[in-house]
Structure 1
Amino acid sequence: MKIGHLVESLDDRGAAAALADLAGAAPAAGFEVVVVALTPSGHSDAATRLGRAGAAPVELNVAPWDPRAVFKVVGALRAHGVDLVHTHGTRPDVVGSAAAARLRVPAVSTLHHIHAEPADRVDHLRRTAKTLARKRFMTRTIATSALQRDWYRRVAGSVAGLSVIPDGAADPGTGSPEEVLRLRRGLGVDDDEVVAVSVAPMRRGQGQDMLLDAIAELPPEEPLTVVLGGDGPLRRWLESRVAGDEALSGRVTFRRSTDPLVLLRGADIQLHTTRHDTMPRMLVLGQGTGTPAVATRVGGIPEIVTRDTGALTPVSSAHISDELVRMVRDPELRARRGAAARSRFLDRFEVSRWAARLGEVYHSALGHAGAPDPAELDTPGALAQG
């Protein structure tokens, strides 16, 4: 099978990063990945990795509302001889379903977001129309979490044709002693210091302000260094706040890294204290590095972090602070949760398993003999909290 994945761009923060991992695992699962982006993104690590996996992406230059969008996508997909179109995102859903119809091939769509915020009548009608269009034009729909599945059921009235398959990731590996030592030396921390890392993007809703509130509440004697390794529009504000607070400046440091996994592999704890999130990829990768997490109990996060692999807290600086203290003071707890996190990643999220599940969806959508029924592809057991 040759599967054409349609994305908005090859931005490393979008679906393309996961597709680069998928491209390497796809052949063993019986299919080949073709990635087409509607808009160019310049240099991206995802594009480089796709090329290395033998799936050099196609970048179009399709402006919003461009009437030629469908024809351009059809041309790109036809040139690669795709058997099925898999879309990721709002505009790719619209353009991709139309392109699939012209090519007379099935279309599969992955839900990457939940539109559950309050809406006026016009927004509600628009969301309902999109859901009905998805049911009409998509052969199969994939939710990345049980949370999305339940939301979709409320909006669409049923989950017919929908499967729950969380995005996977290539095994990031655990940190070697040398890698851990390099990070600690770079931070200038003592051997008994605990290093906690956040690599969440620094934008509204990701909760770094609440995390700083939590750190400010820590007892001063706790041997903890916190590294903020993400980036984004709020970075300067966060840096300014830390610089102006003596308690924070002595404990919090900022590190720009082209590879967040380097920070995660060297960390004792991963922090992900967002106010909302669906299935954050970096939290999944953190589990792969064997790093226990302190994370907020929102969105699809409880389907990644369990009581065995980390601590889930309410959206509250006080609760985050309490769990941090508990983890800092108990190295055996960190080790136990870290080992469980690594095991859970390999069992639930490792890319070869993801590829195999997607392969079953593709066979089903194409009507291949022996393909499982879509209802059998819902995997709530794989997502349940341990």
Structure 2
Amino acid sequence: MKIAHLVPTLHPGGTETGLVDLAGAAREAGLELEVIALAATSETSQVSALQRLGVPVTELGLARWDPRAAPRTAALLRGRRVQLLHTHLPAADVVGSAAAARLRIPVVSTLHRIHDQPADRGNRLKRSAKIVARQRFTARTIAISQVQREWYRGLGAGSDVVIIPNGVVDPGPADPDVRADRRSALEVGPREVLAVMIAPMRRDQGHELLLDALEALPDGLPLAVALAGDGPLRPWLESRVDTSPDLVDRVRFVHRHQEPSTLLGAADLVLHTGRAGAAPTTLLRAMAAGLPIVATRVGNVPEIVTAATGVLVPLGAQPIADAIVALTEDGARRERLGTAARARFLAEFEAVGWARRLRAVYEDLLG
């Protein structure tokens, strides 16, 4: 079954990064993938990862809303004999619907975000226009969580929305030597607990909330914290840590291009203090690695992290600090939660199962 995925860009850190996980599971699910990006990116790690998995990648190199996007996409789809187009994010939804209509092939669209902040009249009109366009030109809409589907329905969207949570590739057991080397590079002592947070360093991810919580930790707690990722807040976060006596010896900043799986393989605990989130992939990777999680109770997070696999806390520095202390001091509980997290990952979020659920949607539309 030949499926093309259309995205605005393949820059690392975007919602489209899950395509690499899907590509890793596609063959076993009987899917042949193509990936088309409307814009080009100078950071080609994701492009290279897809190509290593045998997925043809085309970057059109177009500006946003370029009128050439739809005809050029249609030409690619026709030349590659694509049977169905799967789009991601609004720009790709618009272009993909126009291109697929020319070829009379079905379109599937995945919702990646929840926009529940107050909107002015202009934004509400744009949102309504997108919903109407999706209902008219998209054969099936996929929500990645129950919370997201209910949000979308609350906007007046149709009821024909199927829930298919994202998945990630199973990394397998961590290499003990790699784990030891990574912890040594981070200057984590043998008796210290290593907690990691992997998230784009932007305001909605709650890094400043985490630093507030870390400053509230008791002296002498055997905990080191590694922050991985990049974004506009990184310089400010680094400056704050450098000037805080409570943070400078506890917090490490990981290289911007550090592979998340390597860092998770060295960790004992994963932190997620975001203020919003439809379905953070980091949580799935943490569960795949068999790690317990401390996460804020926002968005779709409670559909991923349960009481059996981690600790959910309200937005606030002190609740986050209390949960971190409790898990740092209780190794048996960390192991119990991590084992349950790994089992839940294999049952619900492993990439091959995700790919097979998507294939069922494609088969239904193609008859």
Scaled to the shorter chain, the TM-score interval is over 0.9
How many angstroms does 1:28 deviate by?
A: 2.4
SS of the residue corresponding to residue 247 of structure 2 reads helix
The aligned residue for residue 270 of structure 1 is 270
Match of 1:280? 280
Deviations 1:314-338 (A, max 9, x none): 0100000000010011000000011
% identity of equivalent residues: 49
The more displaced of 334-343 and 20-29 is 20-29
Whole-angstrom distance in 2 between the partners of 1:205 and 1:22: 26
Aligned to 1:8: 8
Which SS does the other structure have where 2:270 is aligned?
A: strand
- Distance in 1 (alpha carbons) for counterparts of 2:188 and 2:127: 50
Is the 8 Å Cα contact of residues 70 and 96 (structure 2) preserved in structure 1? yes
| Deviation by residue 1:1-26 (Cα, 9 ceiling, x = unmatched) | 21111001111212442112212322
Q: What's the TM-score, normalizing by structure 1?
A: 0.92
Partners of 1:157 and 1:251 in 2: how far apart?
Answer: 47
Paired residue secondary structure (1:42): coil
Q: Tell me if 1:70 matches 2:73.
A: no
Contact 1:47 1:56 in 2 (8 A): no
The answer to whether the 8 A contact 2:2-2:31 is kept is yes
Number of residue pairs matched? 366
| Partner SS, residue 135 of structure 2 | helix
Equivalent residues of 1:265, 1:291 under 8 A apart: no
Confirm or deny: 8 A CA contact 1:152 1:159 kept in the other structure: no
In structure 1, the partner of 2:303 is: 303
Q: CA deviation at 1:282?
A: 1.6
For residues 205-284 of structure 1, the aligned pairs below 5 Å read 205-256=204-255, 257-284=257-284
For residues 102-160 of structure 1, give each alpha carbon's deviation from its aligned partner in whole angstroms, at most 9, with x where no partner exists. Answer: 01100100001112111122221221121121111100000011111101111135422
| 1:180 equivalenced with 2:171 (yes/no) | no
CA distance in 2, matches of 1:222, 1:315: 22
Contiguous gaps of at least 5 residues in structure 1: 369-386
**1:254-298 deviation line (CA, Å, top 9, x unaligned):** 121420221111101001111111111122111111111111111
Aligned twin of 1:124: 124
Alpha-carbon deviations, 1:208-243, whole Å to 9, x = none? 111011011011021111111222111111111111
Gap change, CA 1:180 and 1:65, over 3 Å in 2: closer
Which TM-score applies when normalising by structure 2?
Answer: 0.97
Structure 1 position 180, deviation (Å): 2.1
> Structure 1 residue 172: deviation in Å?
2.0
- Deviation readout 1:346-368 (Å, 9 max, x if unpaired): 111111000000000001111x2
**Offset of 1:73 from its aligned partner?**
0.5
CA distance in 2, matches of 1:38, 1:72: 10
**CA distance in 2: counterparts of 1:43 and 1:123, whole angstroms:** 31
Who is 2:349 aligned against? 349
Partner of 1:320: 320
Q: Is the 8 A contact 1:144 1:164 kept in 2?
A: yes
Partner of residue 93, structure 2:
93
Q: Is the 8 A contact 1:16 1:46 kept in 2?
A: no
State the SS of the aligned residue for 1:247: coil
- SS at 1:156's partner residue? coil
**Separation of aligned partners in 1, 2:276 and 2:177:** 35
The alignment yields a C-alpha RMSD, in angstroms, of 1.3
* Worse overlay, 178-187 or 132-141: 178-187
Note if contact 1:174-1:289 (Cα within 8 Å) is conserved in structure 2.
yes
Give me the whole-angstrom Cα distance separating, in 2, the residues matched to 1:90 and 1:157. Answer: 15
CA contact (8 A) 1:288 1:342 kept: yes
Task: Decide which moves more: 185-194 or 324-333.
Answer: 185-194
